[in-house]
Structure formats: C-alpha cells, structure tokens
Amino acid sequence: MGEPRRTYDDKLEQLLRTAAAVFAEKGYHPASIRDISRATGTSLSGLYYYFRSKEELLFLIQDHCFTTVLENLQQRLQGVPGPEERLRVLVDNHLRFFAANMNEMKVLSHEAASLNGEYRNRVNAHKKRYVELCASIMAGLRPDDSPAEHRAAALSLFGMMNWIYTWYHPERDLPVDELAALMTRVFLGGYRENGARAEHTLSDEAVSAPSIWRR
C-alpha cells in the first residue's frame, strides 16, 4: 500500500513544480489548464485526477510550500537554544528552500490574493503560524518590546527574504549559506540596539557553521 502512495506524491509534486513555473511566467489568471497540460505532458483528464480546478492547483502549490518550509523549520529548531541561533536557523531554512524554489516564491508573492474561501483561509493559517513562530524569536531577542513590534519585526524580515527571487542568481551571487549569514547579520545589526554587540553575540563560528538543512 505504501508504494502507490509514494508514486502519487512524487507525481503530484512534479506537477506542482511545473505548474508553479507556468504561473510564474504567465501569471495565474492568464495561464490555463491547457498550458499546464502542455508543460507537464499530462492529459487534461490526468491533471484533473490530482486537482479539480485551477484554483485548487494554486492552493496545492501554496499549501505544499508552506507545509514543507514549516515542517523543515520545526525539525531544525528542535534543541536549538537561544533566539539568535534560532533566528539564524529560520533565515537559513527559508532561503535554502526558496532559493531552490524560485518560481514557487514568485507565485506565493504575486498570487496571495488569488485564492478564495477555504483555500485562502487554510493558506492564511500557515502564514499566521509562520509569522507567530518568527515573532516568538523576536520576543526572545527583545523581550521588552510589544507583541505588535515583534510581529512587525518578523514581517520586516520576511519582506527582506521573500524578494530574493527578483535578483538572486546562484551562479553569480553568494552561496545560500553565506547569503543567510549575511541577512542574519544585517537584520540583527539593525534590529538590536547595539549592532556591534549583536555581531559579537552571533559569533563568526556560528555564522560560518555548516548548514544543518534537512529535506
């Protein structure tokens, strides 16, 4: 019973990846299911085995991304002490996933308002959970700030990370682990009152440590 399920998951994930590339290139609304069919080499009836509508396909792309990045993050944060190291893990986890899934990042950024009803509610629940997790790390960094400030700091960090799809090219820019370390230093240096103290606290050893990314 396990083998067919794994095959189904692999096939669906490939469909989602190709569909994300089509949506990223054409835009969600101009793209058609026939475009997806041509890009995937799958018949229309074959596609509708996995999803019932274009909106459900968009939901599956977004749901899969948020589920994966959150599950990876929670696994990586287990046993990690201290808010600064937890922040480093969050930034590294986020950038590693989306640097490998740039089309999905573009779709998440541009098509956030294209879902309706329960699809939107379920994706928004993922986003809320992710922001709350990040805000809890901000609370550890600056416990005297208000919850609203922690949330604003979390959203500012996501804003910095999420737009890498507009400029990041692995062949000419920093490797992902170095980019994550740089963004962490930049963020801490601005978010903490004493940027120099933040850099000392987040040691060079921690910044240059090998990635503990797990898929």
pLDDT in tens, 19-67: 999 999 999 999 999 999 999 999 999 999 999 999 999 999 999 999 9
Q: Domain coordinates of the chain in residue numbers?
A: 55-208
pLDDT in tens, 125-142: 999 999 999 999 999 999
Query: Quick check: 107 and 24 in contact, CB under 8 A?
Result: yes
Global confidence as pTM: 0.82
CA distances from 102 to 7, 25, 107 (A): 24, 11, 9
The CATH number fitting domain 55-208, selected from 3.40.50.280, 1.10.220.10, 1.10.357.10, 3.40.50.620: 1.10.357.10
